Amino acid sequence: MCYDVVLHSPQLRGKARLLLERVACLCAQMDTHWWERVREAQATKTNLWERHESGQDGGGFLHFLTGEYVKDTPEVFSLDAA
């Protein structure tokens, strides 16, 4: 499954395996080769910061692993990876 960095516990890895099995039953094109390409893209292009729009403060950026929220554009934020 993707986002290997967040699958840190045996329970999460087990849930990921279960979801992979269910996805394989629903869509044959999402096979092992497809997931390998997803994992490769995430390793090279994933941006851990997500842009969030907010009506009150005009929006900011949320780090999806740590939950940190910043108003200004993070130094490591890349439009290419967003």
Confidence of residue 65 (pLDDT cuts 50, 70, 90): confident
Question: What pLDDT was estimated at residue 82?
Answer: 44
Question: What pLDDT was estimated at residue 3?
Answer: 63
Per residue in 3-58, pLDDT (tens digit) is 666 777 889 889 988 998 999 999 999 988 988 888 787 767 667 788 888 766 77
Model-level pTM greater than 0.85?
no
For the chain, give the DSSP string.
---GGG--SHHHHHHHHHHHHHHHHH-TTSSHHHHHHHHHHHHHH--SEEEE--TTT--EEEETTT--EESSPPTT--TTT-
